[in-house]
Amino acid sequence: MTRRIAVGSLVAAVALGAGSVVLGALASGYGPLSLRPDPGVVWLRYVSGWLGAAWAWGLLGMALGWVATRFVPAVLAASAGLLVAVVSYYVAKSAVGVTSGVDWNATRFWCVAALVTGPALGLVGHVARRPRWVALPAALVGPALMVMDVRRSAAGPSRPGADLVVLAAAAALATALVARVALAGSRPDGGGRGIRTHDGL
């Protein structure tokens, strides 16, 4: 993994972890960071919710595995990225005044969760980067996470507009991934079959 990719991965992890909290504080109708009195900034609240959703964190782990060119860096990058995101999230909550201090018990719990799920997400993302039909199921895990999370949260507060955006994004992502494989397979070299690569798998 190059230094540029490593720095970009770190920035993405911090942005995801802290972004949900900071945007939530900005969108709120009250508090020192509020941009507008009650009801606040509704669309910004939706963005905050998306960044804090389970599917967004899952996609982060997959994306970090995708950009790694070998198996071990993919697993390490996904795990480290999720750890950074977790710490950033709880530090941000303390910084904006949501909590009186960093909730270290919750931080430790979710850091363990990151270490458990990170390797699997990194592996899936690493496999998904190959433009081949055999790797397509791994690539479609991302859109599937988005759909499953929307269905799981359907029992919570009603937010049909936000959910429709996520479902539309999942459909667009799945279409793009299928088209990517189809286009690679239609090339004379069969999408790179027979060409030596440096993938770790």
- 177 Cβ contact list (under 8 Å, min separation 6): 128, 136, 139, 140, 142, 143
Q: Please tell me the predicted confidence (pLDDT) of residue 162.
A: 82
Q: DSSP assignment, residue 117?
A: H
105 vs 92, 102, 115, 156, CA distance in Å? Answer: 15, 9, 16, 25
Separation CA 137–CA 7 (nearest Å): 29
Separation CA 141–CA 59 (nearest Å): 9
Q: Is 64 helix (H, G, I), strand (E, B) or coil?
A: helix
Task: With respect to residue 200, please indicate whether it lies within any of the assigned structural domains.
Answer: no
Domain count, the chain: 2
Q: Please tell me the predicted confidence (pLDDT) of residue 131.
A: 92
Separation CA 53–CA 63 (nearest Å): 16
Its pTM stands at 0.86
Q: Are residues 27 and 119 in the same domain?
A: yes
Task: With respect to residue 174, please indicate whether it lies within any of the assigned structural domains.
Answer: yes
Q: Are residues 140 and 117 in the same domain?
A: no
Mean pLDDT by 10 residues, the chain (201 residues): 83 95 89 82 90 95 93 94 97 91 95 96 96 95 95 66 90 97 76 45 53
Separation CA 196–CA 82 (nearest Å): 31
Separation CA 142–CA 3 (nearest Å): 26
Q: Are residues 135 and 123 in the same domain?
A: no
Q: Are residues 121 and 150 in the same domain?
A: no
Q: Please tell me the predicted confidence (pLDDT) of residue 156.
A: 54
Q: Are residues 111 and 172 in the same domain?
A: no
Q: Please tell me the predicted confidence (pLDDT) of residue 197.
A: 43
Q: Are residues 175 and 160 in the same domain?
A: yes
Q: Are residues 137 and 46 in the same domain?
A: no
Q: Are residues 102 and 178 in the same domain?
A: no
Task: With respect to residue 196, please indicate whether it lies within any of the assigned structural domains.
Answer: no
Which range of residues forms the domain containing residue 150?
131-191
Task: With respect to residue 197, please indicate whether it lies within any of the assigned structural domains.
Answer: no
Among the three residues 129, 158, 183, which one is the final residue of a domain in this structure? Answer: 129
Q: Are residues 72 and 137 in the same domain?
A: no
Task: With respect to residue 198, please indicate whether it lies within any of the assigned structural domains.
Answer: no
Q: Are residues 121 and 158 in the same domain?
A: no
- 188 Cβ contact list (under 8 Å, min separation 6): none
Q: Are residues 5 and 67 in the same domain?
A: yes
Q: Please tell me the predicted confidence (pLDDT) of residue 42.
A: 85
- Alpha-helical runs (H) found in the chain: 3-27, 42-52, 54-67, 71-95, 104-128, 136-139, 141-152, 160-186
Q: Please tell me the predicted confidence (pLDDT) of residue 154.
A: 62
Q: Are residues 33 and 98 in the same domain?
A: yes
Q: Please tell me the predicted confidence (pLDDT) of residue 153.
A: 75
